[in-house]
Amino acid sequence: MNGNKVKKELKKSITILVPAGLVLADIFDKVNELAKKYELAVYLSTAQNIRILNVQDENEEAIKAELQKVGAELKGPGKFPLPRVCVGESYCKLGLVDTMALSDRILAKYKSREPVKPKFKIAIAGCPASCSNVLTTDIGIKATKSGYEVYVGGKGGASPKVGLRIAKGVDEERVFEIIDQLIDFHAGKPGTKMRMAKLLSDPDFPFAEV
Protein backbone atom coordinates (compact mmCIF):
# COMPACT_ATOMS: atom_id res chain seq x y z
CA MET A 1 0.00 0.00 0.00
CA ASN A 2 1.26 3.47 -0.87
CA GLY A 3 2.12 5.32 2.34
CA ASN A 4 1.42 8.70 0.79
CA LYS A 5 -1.94 10.13 1.74
CA VAL A 6 -4.06 10.85 -1.33
CA LYS A 7 -6.20 13.96 -1.05
CA LYS A 8 -9.84 13.14 -1.63
CA GLU A 9 -11.52 15.23 -4.30
CA LEU A 10 -14.93 16.33 -3.08
CA LYS A 11 -17.95 17.07 -5.20
CA LYS A 12 -18.99 20.71 -5.35
CA SER A 13 -21.88 22.09 -3.31
CA ILE A 14 -23.35 25.46 -2.33
CA THR A 15 -24.63 26.22 1.18
CA ILE A 16 -27.43 28.72 1.81
CA LEU A 17 -27.45 30.19 5.32
CA VAL A 18 -30.88 29.94 6.96
CA PRO A 19 -31.27 32.09 10.10
CA ALA A 20 -33.19 30.23 12.84
CA GLY A 21 -33.88 27.47 10.31
CA LEU A 22 -36.67 29.50 8.69
CA VAL A 23 -36.64 29.33 4.89
CA LEU A 24 -38.23 32.29 3.12
CA ALA A 25 -40.77 31.36 0.43
CA ASP A 26 -38.84 33.08 -2.39
CA ILE A 27 -35.68 31.17 -1.53
CA PHE A 28 -37.58 27.91 -1.17
CA ASP A 29 -39.15 28.39 -4.60
CA LYS A 30 -35.83 29.32 -6.20
CA VAL A 31 -34.04 26.28 -4.75
CA ASN A 32 -36.79 24.04 -6.12
CA GLU A 33 -36.54 25.71 -9.54
CA LEU A 34 -32.76 25.38 -9.70
CA ALA A 35 -32.82 21.79 -8.48
CA LYS A 36 -35.06 20.84 -11.39
CA LYS A 37 -33.15 22.89 -13.95
CA TYR A 38 -29.65 21.67 -13.03
CA GLU A 39 -30.53 18.23 -11.61
CA LEU A 40 -29.37 19.17 -8.12
CA ALA A 41 -29.97 17.41 -4.82
CA VAL A 42 -31.05 19.41 -1.75
CA TYR A 43 -29.63 18.50 1.66
CA LEU A 44 -30.86 19.92 4.98
CA SER A 45 -27.72 20.17 7.10
CA THR A 46 -27.42 19.56 10.84
CA ALA A 47 -26.58 23.26 11.15
CA GLN A 48 -30.11 24.05 9.83
CA ASN A 49 -28.84 25.35 6.52
CA ILE A 50 -29.65 24.27 2.96
CA ARG A 51 -26.84 22.61 1.04
CA ILE A 52 -27.27 22.18 -2.69
CA LEU A 53 -25.42 19.13 -4.00
CA ASN A 54 -24.23 17.91 -7.42
CA VAL A 55 -23.23 21.41 -8.57
CA GLN A 56 -21.25 21.31 -11.82
CA ASP A 57 -18.34 23.74 -12.25
CA GLU A 58 -19.85 25.33 -15.36
CA ASN A 59 -23.12 26.07 -13.52
CA GLU A 60 -21.80 27.22 -10.14
CA GLU A 61 -21.69 30.98 -10.71
CA ALA A 62 -25.07 31.03 -12.47
CA ILE A 63 -26.67 29.15 -9.56
CA LYS A 64 -25.13 31.49 -7.00
CA ALA A 65 -26.30 34.54 -8.92
CA GLU A 66 -29.87 33.24 -9.12
CA LEU A 67 -29.91 32.51 -5.39
CA GLN A 68 -28.57 35.93 -4.49
CA LYS A 69 -31.24 37.61 -6.62
CA VAL A 70 -33.89 36.34 -4.18
CA GLY A 71 -31.90 37.36 -1.10
CA ALA A 72 -30.16 34.10 -0.25
CA GLU A 73 -26.99 34.51 1.78
CA LEU A 74 -24.31 31.98 0.89
CA LYS A 75 -21.87 30.42 3.30
CA GLY A 76 -18.35 31.82 3.18
CA PRO A 77 -15.22 32.20 5.31
CA GLY A 78 -15.14 34.67 8.18
CA LYS A 79 -18.90 34.98 8.69
CA PHE A 80 -20.42 34.92 12.16
CA PRO A 81 -22.16 31.56 12.72
CA LEU A 82 -25.94 31.35 12.61
CA PRO A 83 -27.25 29.97 15.91
CA ARG A 84 -28.84 26.52 15.72
CA VAL A 85 -32.23 26.71 17.45
CA CYS A 86 -35.26 24.67 18.44
CA VAL A 87 -38.72 26.03 17.58
CA GLY A 88 -39.21 27.53 21.05
CA GLU A 89 -42.29 28.48 23.03
CA SER A 90 -44.43 29.43 20.03
CA TYR A 91 -44.53 25.87 18.67
CA CYS A 92 -43.56 23.58 21.56
CA LYS A 93 -45.42 22.94 24.83
CA LEU A 94 -42.12 22.60 26.66
CA GLY A 95 -40.71 25.85 25.28
CA LEU A 96 -40.02 28.63 27.77
CA VAL A 97 -38.65 31.39 25.50
CA ASP A 98 -38.84 32.68 21.95
CA THR A 99 -35.68 31.06 20.60
CA MET A 100 -36.04 32.60 17.15
CA ALA A 101 -36.23 36.10 18.60
CA LEU A 102 -33.11 35.44 20.67
CA SER A 103 -31.31 34.13 17.57
CA ASP A 104 -32.34 37.27 15.66
CA ARG A 105 -31.01 39.46 18.46
CA ILE A 106 -27.68 37.62 18.50
CA LEU A 107 -27.31 38.04 14.74
CA ALA A 108 -28.34 41.71 14.89
CA LYS A 109 -25.55 42.38 17.37
CA TYR A 110 -22.76 40.17 16.06
CA LYS A 111 -23.38 39.33 12.41
CA SER A 112 -21.31 42.24 11.12
CA ARG A 113 -18.38 41.15 13.24
CA GLU A 114 -15.73 39.80 10.89
CA PRO A 115 -13.60 37.88 10.52
CA VAL A 116 -14.70 34.96 12.70
CA LYS A 117 -12.55 31.86 12.93
CA PRO A 118 -13.96 28.58 11.60
CA LYS A 119 -15.10 25.90 14.06
CA PHE A 120 -17.07 28.30 16.24
CA LYS A 121 -20.78 27.52 16.75
CA ILE A 122 -23.75 28.65 18.86
CA ALA A 123 -26.93 26.78 19.82
CA ILE A 124 -30.09 27.91 21.64
CA ALA A 125 -32.57 25.61 23.42
CA GLY A 126 -35.97 26.81 24.60
CA CYS A 127 -36.16 24.31 27.47
CA PRO A 128 -33.99 21.79 29.39
CA ALA A 129 -34.72 19.08 26.79
CA SER A 130 -32.03 20.80 24.68
CA CYS A 131 -33.24 19.56 21.28
CA SER A 132 -30.75 21.86 19.54
CA ASN A 133 -27.80 20.14 21.27
CA VAL A 134 -26.58 23.09 23.32
CA LEU A 135 -24.42 20.81 25.49
CA THR A 136 -22.23 19.79 22.54
CA THR A 137 -21.73 23.24 20.99
CA ASP A 138 -19.00 25.85 21.45
CA ILE A 139 -21.50 28.22 23.10
CA GLY A 140 -24.79 26.70 24.26
CA ILE A 141 -27.69 28.74 25.66
CA LYS A 142 -30.47 26.83 27.45
CA ALA A 143 -33.67 28.28 28.89
CA THR A 144 -34.93 26.97 32.24
CA LYS A 145 -37.75 28.04 34.55
CA SER A 146 -35.22 29.89 36.71
CA GLY A 147 -33.42 31.65 33.86
CA TYR A 148 -30.80 30.84 31.26
CA GLU A 149 -27.91 28.44 31.58
CA VAL A 150 -24.82 28.97 29.41
CA TYR A 151 -22.43 26.21 28.39
CA VAL A 152 -19.09 26.51 26.65
CA GLY A 153 -16.64 24.11 25.05
CA GLY A 154 -19.02 21.37 24.00
CA LYS A 155 -18.40 19.53 20.76
CA GLY A 156 -19.53 16.54 18.74
CA GLY A 157 -17.41 14.60 16.29
CA ALA A 158 -15.23 11.54 16.88
CA SER A 159 -14.45 12.61 20.46
CA PRO A 160 -17.63 14.30 21.75
CA LYS A 161 -17.49 16.51 24.81
CA VAL A 162 -20.20 18.02 27.02
CA GLY A 163 -19.68 21.72 27.54
CA LEU A 164 -18.78 23.41 30.81
CA ARG A 165 -21.69 25.21 32.47
CA ILE A 166 -20.48 28.72 33.23
CA ALA A 167 -23.78 30.42 34.15
CA LYS A 168 -27.18 29.43 35.52
CA GLY A 169 -30.32 31.36 36.40
CA VAL A 170 -29.19 34.45 34.47
CA ASP A 171 -31.28 36.86 32.41
CA GLU A 172 -30.91 37.62 28.71
CA GLU A 173 -28.74 40.69 29.28
CA ARG A 174 -26.22 38.62 31.23
CA VAL A 175 -26.24 36.04 28.42
CA PHE A 176 -25.10 38.75 26.02
CA GLU A 177 -22.38 39.93 28.39
CA ILE A 178 -21.06 36.36 28.51
CA ILE A 179 -21.19 36.01 24.72
CA ASP A 180 -19.24 39.27 24.39
CA GLN A 181 -16.48 37.95 26.64
CA LEU A 182 -16.32 34.57 24.95
CA ILE A 183 -16.17 36.01 21.44
CA ASP A 184 -13.39 38.42 22.41
CA PHE A 185 -11.47 35.64 24.16
CA HIS A 186 -11.84 33.28 21.19
CA ALA A 187 -10.80 35.94 18.69
CA GLY A 188 -7.73 36.85 20.72
CA LYS A 189 -6.21 33.39 20.58
CA PRO A 190 -3.73 32.41 17.84
CA GLY A 191 -4.51 29.95 15.08
CA THR A 192 -6.86 29.96 12.14
CA LYS A 193 -9.18 27.35 13.67
CA MET A 194 -9.99 27.00 17.35
CA ARG A 195 -12.78 25.08 19.07
CA MET A 196 -13.78 26.43 22.47
CA ALA A 197 -13.12 22.99 23.97
CA LYS A 198 -9.40 23.54 23.48
CA LEU A 199 -9.51 26.83 25.37
CA LEU A 200 -11.14 25.66 28.60
CA SER A 201 -7.75 24.82 30.12
CA ASP A 202 -6.25 28.15 29.11
CA PRO A 203 -5.07 29.99 32.26
CA ASP A 204 -6.76 33.15 31.01
CA PHE A 205 -10.16 31.53 30.38
CA PRO A 206 -12.59 34.07 31.94
CA PHE A 207 -15.17 31.71 33.48
CA ALA A 208 -15.38 28.91 36.04
CA GLU A 209 -17.82 26.01 36.18
CA VAL A 210 -21.01 26.60 38.16
pTM, rounded to two decimals: 0.90
pLDDT at 5 (0 to 100)? 66
Same domain as 161, residue 69: no
Is residue 176 located within the same domain as residue 129?
A: yes
Distance CA 32, CA 42 (A): 9
CATH number at 129 reads: 3.30.413.10
Residue 64 domain boundaries:
14-74
Q: What is the CATH number of the domain that holds 34?
A: 3.30.70
d(C-alpha 186, C-alpha 197), whole Å: 11
Domain assignment present for 8: no
What's the pLDDT score for residue 2? 57
Residues 138 and 184 in one domain: yes
Q: Are residues 121 and 68 in the same domain?
A: no
* pLDDT tens, per residue, the chain with 210 residues: 555 666 778 889 999 999 999 999 999 999 999 999 999 999 999 999 999 999 999 999 999 999 999 999 999 888 888 999 999 999 999 999 999 999 999 999 998 887 777 778 999 999 999 999 999 999 999 999 999 999 999 998 889 999 999 999 999 999 999 999 999 898 888 776 778 998 999 999 999 999
Does the residue 79 lie in any domain? Answer: no
Same domain, 89 and 168: yes
The reply to whether 20 and 109 lie within a common domain is: no
Boundary of a domain, candidates 74, 99, 125: 74
Task: Examine residue 209 and state whether it is found in any structural domain, yes or no.
Answer: no
- Give 185-198 pLDDT, tens digit per residue: 988 887 767 789 98
Q: Within this chain, do residues 56 and 158 fall inside the same structural domain, yes or no?
A: no
Same domain? 112 vs 167: yes
In a domain? residue 161: yes
Q: Catalogue the E-assigned strands of the chain.
A: 14-17, 41-44, 50-53, 73-74, 84-85, 122-125, 139-144, 147-152, 164-170
Same domain, 149 and 64: no
- Residue ending a domain, among 74, 102, 123, is 74
Do both 27 and 96 map to the same domain? no
CB 196 within 8 A of CB 120: yes
Residue-level pLDDT at 4 = 65
Number of structural domains in the chain: 2
